[in-house]
A and B are shown apart, each in its own frame.
Chain A
């Protein structure tokens, strides 16, 4: 499936929510899947993202950003909330001396990524996986991704290059191993 990336500020007819959901659901899901590395979490956050989007659909202005970027921003906030919650939970468990919960193994849907790539993705931080998701999976352009991440275009390009380099190295190491 191909996604049309709409430049920020470009004039775009306002789609219906159903049309936007139909068009961008896969992109949002993939973005969250790569961010969280967990299928169930990605599905939950995707549902949460579209529920929030539905509630604030009236505020969506296609002249300010494309529907994909707008949805990704909501998804990113949902993912950040999820990570914050996870961190709080982990700290709480550490405070009360409980055994740290086992970090669940990545739960990508089976058979889609090679085991080597899955392990290599685990070695990346969420920030690195995020930039890969935005630029590689969602095919957002540099400006759009940078704006979404709140960094400069150069920083975005640098982060992407380093993330891919790191991923390449990890894949290479695992293959050699």
Chain B
């Protein structure tokens, strides 16, 4: 037999080399006597397929985790918001919760940015929740609201400021303070503190909300009824004390007793005056709501809209957020690990080359 690739000049050599003997029978018996391994299915070369499947599983897992995270976080968020809003509304509207904790300071903060033109601002989502927060009828409550509104241009700021003042007067209130400033021809801000009768609070919220795009809204309700009642009781006691002291002075008293009683009467009258003034202030605070209006022309203050999204939208947004974080982390890890990986591969290649060269040298010497 001759190999076609071999030079015919070496045919004799090749022929003689091929006369090398077969393996001795003893060796043959030893090798063939080795135990036959249990038949096993051949191991297929599935590394590439396994890597592909593993990568798909990892991607699916990441997507699943992101989806679950998005659904859970969006559901929890909306629920907590709903609970928060519901709790506040019941506290303010029902009155029962306020009676249970009359001195609790309840605050609802909603930050909204409603897209729309200044001329015809749409009814913001926060407006509805704010409108459901009227002061409780029959109870004395301190109602304060801070509204930050965006208006269009300096001219719009001026018009809106005047309009807010007109609204205040039309609602039976008064303007406590106005701070209007336009540092440049394009931007400006105005701060108004107005007092509105509590009975007109709902109307005030609606009308002030229509002045511009709501950027933020902070409504605070504090129950003053117990404080007012306490003050009233103290006033009655002081009046009784004064009546008793006056009656005592009309009787026969020694000069020392008269002086002492007169000083007690003066102190009681002073206390009554102070308490009465305090009570009047409490009643005034309970009758008039305080509105702080911040009008601005700055667009940078706009907060991204979240309230317009449904649950699916929020879930998708959260899921994509998580995916973005995972991708960023992966890229970061790859950037950090890549040099180590490259060095490792280079070392591996170098070691294999060195080993191969060592084998070559060894075989050349042997």
Contacting A at CB under 8 A, from B325-339, are none
Let me know if A57 and B37 touch, CB within 8 A.
yes
Let me know if B31 and A142 touch, CB within 8 A.
no
Residue from A21, A57, A64, A135 in contact with B3 in the complex, judged by beta carbons closer than 8 Å: A135
Let me know if A21 and B32 touch, CB within 8 A.
yes
Let me know if A132 and B363 touch, CB within 8 A.
no
Let me know if A29 and B27 touch, CB within 8 A.
yes
Residue from A26, A62, A83 in contact with B362 in the complex, judged by beta carbons closer than 8 Å: A83
Q: B36 — which chain A residues lie within 8 A by C-beta?
A: 16-18
Q: B6 — which chain A residues lie within 8 A by C-beta?
A: 135-136, 160, 164
Q: A58 — which chain B residues lie within 8 A by C-beta?
A: 37, 40, 43
Q: A160 — which chain B residues lie within 8 A by C-beta?
A: 6
Contacting B at CB under 8 A, from A126-164, are 126-127, 130, 132, 135-137, 139, 141-142, 150, 157, 160-161, 164
Let me know if B28 and A25 touch, CB within 8 A.
yes
Q: CB-nearest residue of chain A relative to B34?
A: A54
Q: CB-nearest residue of chain A relative to B40?
A: A58
Interface membership of B365, Cβ < 8 A: yes
Residue from A22, A57, A130 in contact with B363 in the complex, judged by beta carbons closer than 8 Å: A130
Residue from B14, B19, B356, B362 in contact with A150 in the complex, judged by beta carbons closer than 8 Å: B356
Q: CB-nearest residue of chain A relative to B17?
A: A136
Nearest Cβ in chain B — how far from A79, in angstroms? 9
Interface of A, helix, strand, loop or mixed by DSSP? helix
Q: A171 — which chain B residues lie within 8 A by C-beta?
A: 13
Q: A26 — which chain B residues lie within 8 A by C-beta?
A: 22-23
Nearest Cβ in chain B — how far from A85, in angstroms? 11
Interface membership of B30, Cβ < 8 A: yes
Tier of interface size on chain B: 35 or more
Q: B13 — which chain A residues lie within 8 A by C-beta?
A: 117, 164, 167-168, 171
Interface membership of A114, Cβ < 8 A: yes
Interface membership of A43, Cβ < 8 A: yes
Nearest Cβ in chain B — how far from A131, in angstroms? 10
Interface membership of A80, Cβ < 8 A: yes
Interface membership of A34, Cβ < 8 A: yes
Q: Known contacts A47-B31, A150-B356; decide if A113 and B365 are in contact (CB<8 Å).
A: no
Interface membership of A1, Cβ < 8 A: yes
Q: Which of B5, B28, B34, B43 has the most CB of A within 10 A?
A: B34
- Interchain Cβ contacts under 8 Å between A and B, 29 examples: A14-B42, A17-B34, A17-B37, A18-B32, A18-B36, A21-B31, A22-B32, A25-B27, A25-B31, A43-B23, A43-B24, A43-B26, A50-B34, A51-B34, A54-B34, A54-B37, A61-B44, A63-B44, A64-B45, A83-B362, A84-B362, A87-B362, A125-B364, A125-B366, A126-B365, A126-B366, A157-B5, A161-B7, A164-B7
| Further contacts, 16 of them, CB under 8 A, given A17-B36, A34-B20, A43-B23 | A17-B34, A18-B36, A25-B31, A25-B32, A30-B21, A30-B23, A43-B27, A54-B37, A61-B44, A61-B45, A64-B45, A112-B20, A135-B3, A135-B6, A137-B17, A164-B6
Binding site for B on A (CB under 8 A): 1-2, 14, 16-18, 21-22, 25-26, 28-30, 33-34, 43, 46-47, 50-51, 54, 57-64, 80, 83-84, 86-87, 108-109, 112-114, 117, 125-127, 130, 132, 135-137, 139, 141-142, 150, 157, 160-161, 164, 167-168, 171
Closest 8 CB pairs of A and B: A126-B366, A127-B363, A29-B23, A126-B363, A26-B22, A50-B31, A14-B42, A83-B366
